[in-house]
Amino acid sequence: DQQVKQNSPSLSVQEGRISILNCDYTNSMFDYFLWYKKYPAEGPTFLISISSIKDKNEDGRFTVFLNKSAKHLSLHIVPSQPGDSAVYFCAASDWPGTYKYIFGTGTRLKVLA
């Protein structure tokens, strides 16, 4: 039972353009969402998060949008840079109910120079 889904295994975007990564979830008890970035041979690195009381959170070039009614969140990267090429994981938790994250399977982003 995949509670967090990233339906696009890969995405290619031209440098300077917007990258949009999507994530859907099924559990309405999730109230905290995170995006992690992972380079090869490294562990996931925290990128940005959003709590269910907000619908948008921005940090520099990265913005996360949350649509609770659709159980959908997205990560926007503007402008995309070649260094953004990595695997992006969406994660959810019912913080502070439990402490575990439920991860999606990831989207491999390639930013073309």
Partner 1 sequence: DSGVTQTPKHLITATGQRVTLRCSPRSGDLSVYWYQQSLDQGLQFLIQYYNGEERAKGNILERFSAQQFPDLHSELNLSSLELGDSALYFCASSGGQRVNIQYFGAGTRLSVL
* Minimum CB–partner distance for residue 20 and partner 1 (Å): 19
* Minimum CB–partner distance for residue 2 and partner 1 (Å): 8
Question: DSSP for 95-110?
Answer: TTS----EE---EEEE
* Minimum CB–partner distance for residue 112 and partner 1 (Å): 23
* Residues of the shown chain interacting with partner 1 in the complex, contacts defined by CB under 8 A: 4, 6, 32, 34, 36, 41-46, 49, 89, 91, 93, 95-96, 98-106
Q: Closest CB to partner 1 among 15 and 48?
A: 48
Q: Closest CB to partner 1 among 77 and 89?
A: 89
Q: Which residues lie below 8 Å from residue 15, measured CB to CB, with a gap of 6+?
A: 79, 80, 81, 82, 111, 112, 113
Query: Environment class of residue 103 by beta-carbon count within 10 Å: exposed (0-12), middle (13-18) or buried (19+)?
Result: middle
Q: Closest CB to partner 1 among 63 and 93?
A: 93
Q: Closest CB to partner 1 among 3 and 74?
A: 3
Q: Which residues lie below 8 Å from residue 12, measured CB to CB, with a gap of 6+?
A: 109, 110, 111, 112
